[in-house]
Amino acid sequence: MSQLETAMGMIIAVFDNYARTDGNRQTLSKAELKSLLEKEFPNFLASGKDKDAIDRVFKNLDENGDSQVDFKEFVLFVAALTCCCHKYFEQNAAK
């Protein structure tokens, strides 16, 4: 597998790994998303001071309002985060 195919496979594996915790394997519940964010982005919610952060992220991700985050919603979130990281690296490289 190429580097890009491997990266895509890893994103699918992460989603499936957390989505299978409760009954519905096709979507992330709020508890599953919280667990995913805590383990995959340990610095993202690290401060612990903002108790509403996970609620806000979940509400933003759950585009169709069904209280579940499906794969499409998740992959767009990862794409947006990757875009932010790329911009950050680009700005730092330009300094």
Q: How many CB atoms lie within 10 A of CB 47?
A: 8
Q: Which of 36, 11, 10, 32 is nearest to 21 (CA)?
A: 32
Strands in 5-63 per DSSP E: 27-28
Of the candidate residues 51, 90, 91, 95, the single one contacting a copy of itself (CB under 8 A): 90
- Based on the shown chain and the rule CB under 8 A, indicate whether residue 2 belongs to the binding site for a copy of itself: yes
- Based on the shown chain and the rule CB under 8 A, indicate whether residue 41 belongs to the binding site for a copy of itself: yes
- Based on the shown chain and the rule CB under 8 A, indicate whether residue 15 belongs to the binding site for a copy of itself: yes
Two tokens, residue 88 = 């950050």
Interacting span for a copy of itself (CB under 8 A) from 27-35, 48-56, 59-67, 69-77? 69-77
- Based on the shown chain and the rule CB under 8 A, indicate whether residue 46 belongs to the binding site for a copy of itself: no
Of the candidate residues 24, 50, 55, 76, the single one contacting a copy of itself (CB under 8 A): 76
- Residue 5 · residue 72 · CB < 8 Å: no
Helix-then-strand count for the chain, H and E: 4, 2
Binding site for a copy of itself (CB under 8 A): 2-15, 26, 36, 39-42, 71-72, 75-76, 78-79, 81-83, 85-87, 89-90
